[in-house]
Amino acid sequence: MAPSWENDDDRKDDAVSSETTALPSLPFEIIEEILSKLPVKFLMQLKSVCKSWESLISDPQFAIKHLRVSTTRHHLLTFTNFFSDELFVVVYPFSSVFTELTVAASRQLDFPLPVGNLSHYIIGSCHGIICFEINEHFVFLWNPFISKFMKLPSLANPKQNICYTAYGFGYVYDQFNDNYSYKVVAVNYIESDNNVSYYRYRPQLKVYTLGTNSWRMIQDFPYCIPLGLSSGRFISGTVNWLAYNNLFISLVIVSFDLENEFYQEITLPDYEVVIRPQVTLVVLRDCLSIIAESNTYVDVWLMDEYGNTESWTKLFRIPHGEPPAYITPLYLSEDDHVLMESRYVRQSKPQSELAIYNSRDSILKTTEIQKINCSMVHEVYQESLISPCSL
């Protein structure tokens, strides 16, 4: 008797089932390679697949490997700032920033501290860790994508009257051990007994290395970092501030080497224009950048080779709109599109908006995220698995 079609199908199903169960499992090294290329959001979900995956994704060495693979995975984060009843943290995927940066593309993150009357100020971020100043004397580190945070010991000394503190945050790469050492730098300006006006504040420079649980006093710091310019910019293993020398004669860049813990001066570019008193120091394309303003335009300067003052180059000029605004570039793409924040006053009310300026054809395009309350600040953020608690 000829076999029925039904029996043939059953045998085919059995064969497929047998082949499926016989498939070999992937070597763990290949699994690690695949996982290292995934976004943090997916990796946090995959930790629940099995114990070996959870152990791998939680491994600090895997976090470093993942960081190096995902160097282009950036986001734009916005935060409310200064004595807000609520702190809203909103993240926008950077892949949409230069195409369609809209509210619909965003998602909200939960800030891990109760805000209340806390003042909070972003010092900076690197390797997925955002560094905040809390109530002027505390530093708070947070990786929002893995929900890990820690608060550093207080800088306050009951015997000293700290007027204000300038901060910086960065890391040193240890080539021998292939890992990173993260440091927070604080320059305390303490009220001095000296009656000479330019010695009104006595600066103290302290460094906190994550994992040590204490601040260390380093050396004298004979510079005055203006209060409005007090966040240092991290680049090439250094933290950099705009500062005056101890006689308030000239404005310079003070660079603090995080590995050797010494500082040096870097001269500013020759602007060739009459500028406003406020000059801004930022980092664009992993280079130091100076934003110099006149009454009608903004010049963007880039130091192509860090520490080499001969490498200052004026990239382009952004004309002021109406009304005139203070412009802070946040990111510069390879095709010279600038994501920037523009702050201005209209009808006696402060306004802020995010815009994209194409420096090649001088076209300015505002995003849907505009007329932002001026208590909002922005940070370009690289996602990572690195936890401040495990350093």
Residues in Cβ contact with 118 at an 8 Å cutoff, skipping those fewer than 6 apart: 83, 134, 135
Evaluated on CA atoms 195, 200, 204, 205, the torsion sign reads negative
Residue with tokens 């290395």: 209
Q: What is the pLDDT of residue 81?
A: 54
Pair 77, 378: CB distance under 8 Å: yes
Q: What is the pLDDT of residue 249?
A: 72
Q: What is the pLDDT of residue 379?
A: 87
Residues in the chain: 391
| Helix/strand/coil percentages in the chain, nearest 5 | 20, 45, 40
Measure the CA–CA gap between 298 and 321, rounded to whole angstroms. Answer: 11
Measure the CA–CA gap between 125 and 381, rounded to whole angstroms. Answer: 7
Measure the CA–CA gap between 77 and 74, rounded to whole angstroms. Answer: 10
Measure the CA–CA gap between 277 and 331, rounded to whole angstroms. Answer: 23
Measure the CA–CA gap between 56 and 52, rounded to whole angstroms. Answer: 6
Q: What is the pLDDT of residue 84?
A: 53
Percent of the chain with pLDDT over 90: 34
Measure the CA–CA gap between 203 and 190, rounded to whole angstroms. Answer: 6
Confidence (pTM) = 0.85
Low-confidence ranges of the chain (pLDDT < 50): 1-7, 9-23, 82, 196-198
Task: Report CA Rg, the chain.
Answer: 25
b/e map 152-178, b = 16+ CB within 10 Å: beebeeeeeebeebbbbbbbbeeeeee
